């Protein structure tokens, strides 16, 4: 069965709003897989499946997650560098580091993000953001007017010339990309995400905190690249992504 795609904000808090934006994609992805499993069971019993998009409020909208699966609850551990916690869905991740948003030196203005996207080869992408620097929900965001405002998260959608669609995120100044087309059609249980590090930055709007995390590979596989730019994403076709597994 085709996997249900995380919704962009509403994931972006889609993720911000991709599920109530608590903390990270992992949460949303786990929910999607559970929903798909339940749907399959219903189809086997009744041959009826009306899976109407549970656009699960993209991470960050209603569940307190940023659409990337970050959770508000952390389990205590004696290891300060590899703190483990479980989100609502019982998905365990490693928290590499945490930082209060207002104390971070990596925050970017909307203009910063626009310029960096241009430098990476992305022209005229629609930028969305759901929170201000204090962690308050922003009902209206205009990328052409809020140019000097700082936001913890920015979300974009990129459609390649080959027809592949991507979510591009900038959280805490860190860019990463989610291959929508590939994850929708790959048939695999876990999702794939592209990052410039071995970890992913997530955002918890409840505590207004950045969390650098490493999810379990059974939930989310991180593919590391030197740089997330247009040329790189265009080169990552489904064939290439499968070959590099």
Cα(218)–Cα(189) distance, rounded to whole angstroms?
Answer: 8
Q: Is residue 91 situated within a structural domain?
A: yes
Q: Is 39 inside a domain boundary? A: no
Radius of gyration of the chain (CA): 17
Among 37-46, 56-65, 178-187, the range with the most confident prediction by mean pLDDT is 178-187
Least confident of 11-25, 86-100, 173-187, 210-224: 11-25
Alpha helices, DSSP H only, in 57-213? 110-119, 180-185
Residue 4 has pLDDT above 60, yes or no: no
Check residue 34 and give its pLDDT: 52
Report the pLDDT value the prediction gives residue 198, as an integer from 0 to 100: 95
- Confidence (pLDDT) at 10: 32
The yes-or-no verdict on residue 211 having pLDDT over 80 is yes
Q: Is the pLDDT of residue 43 over 80?
A: no
- 52 within domain boundaries: no
Q: Which has more pLDDT, 139 or 156?
A: 156
Locate 136 and state its tokens. Answer: 């308050």
Residue 159 lies in a domain: yes
Residue 97 domain flag: yes
CA distance 65 to 163: 29
Where in the sequence is the domain holding 83, given as residue range(s)? 73-238
What confidence score (pLDDT) does residue 99 get? Answer: 96
What would the pLDDT profile of 12-26 be if each residue is shown by its tens digit?
A: 333 333 333 333 344
- Residue 167 has φ and ψ, to the nearest 5°, of -95, 135
**Residue 103 resides in a domain:** yes
5 in a domain, yes or no? no
Placement of tokens 């920015």 in the chain = 154
Query: How confident is the model over 220-232, as a mean pLDDT?
Result: 96
In a domain, 220, yes or no: yes
Residue range 136-145: mean pLDDT, rounded: 92
Band (pLDDT 50/70/90 cuts) for residue 111 is very high
Compare 54 and 138 and report the one with higher pLDDT. 138
Output the CA–CA distances (angstroms, integers) from residue 57 to 27, 66, 245, in the order listed.
Answer: 12, 10, 30
- Residue 3's CB is within 10 A of a number of other CB atoms, namely 18
Q: How far is CA 213 from CA 13, 58, 102, 242, in A?
A: 17, 19, 19, 24
What gap in Å lies between CA 220 and CA 59, rounded to an integer? 15
Q: How many domains does the chain have?
A: 1
């Amino acid at each position: 069965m085709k996997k249900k795609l995380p919704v962009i904000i509403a994931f972006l808090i889609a993720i911000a709003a991709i599920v109530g934006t608590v903390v990270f994609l992992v949460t949303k992805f786990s929910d999607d897989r559970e929903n798909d499993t339940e749907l399959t069971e219903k189809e086997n019993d009744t041959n009826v499946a009306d899976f109407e998009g549970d656009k699960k409020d993209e991470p960050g909208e209603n569940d307190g997650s940023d659409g990337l699966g970050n959770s508000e609850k952390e389990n205590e551990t004696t290891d300060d560098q590899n703190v483990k916690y479980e989100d609502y869905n019982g998905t365990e991740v490693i928290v590499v580091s945490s930082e209060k948003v207002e104390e971070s030196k990596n925050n970017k203005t909307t203009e910063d993000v626009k310029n960096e996207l241009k430098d990476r080869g992305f022209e005229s992408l629609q930028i969305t953001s759901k929170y201000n620097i204090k962690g308050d929900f922003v009902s209206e965001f205009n990328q052409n007017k809020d140019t000097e405002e700082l936001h913890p998260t920015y979300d974009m959608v990129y459609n390649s010339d080959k027809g592949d669609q991507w979510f591009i995120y900038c959280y805490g100044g860190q860019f990463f990309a989610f291959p929508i087309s590939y994850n929708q059609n790959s048939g695999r249980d876990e999702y794939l995400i592209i990052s410039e590090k071995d970890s992913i930055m997530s955002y918890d709007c409840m505590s207004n905190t950045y969390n650098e995390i490493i999810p379990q590979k059974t939930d989310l596989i991180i593919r590391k690249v030197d740089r997330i730019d247009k040329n790189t994403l265009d080169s990552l076709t489904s064939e290439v992504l499968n070959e590099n597994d």
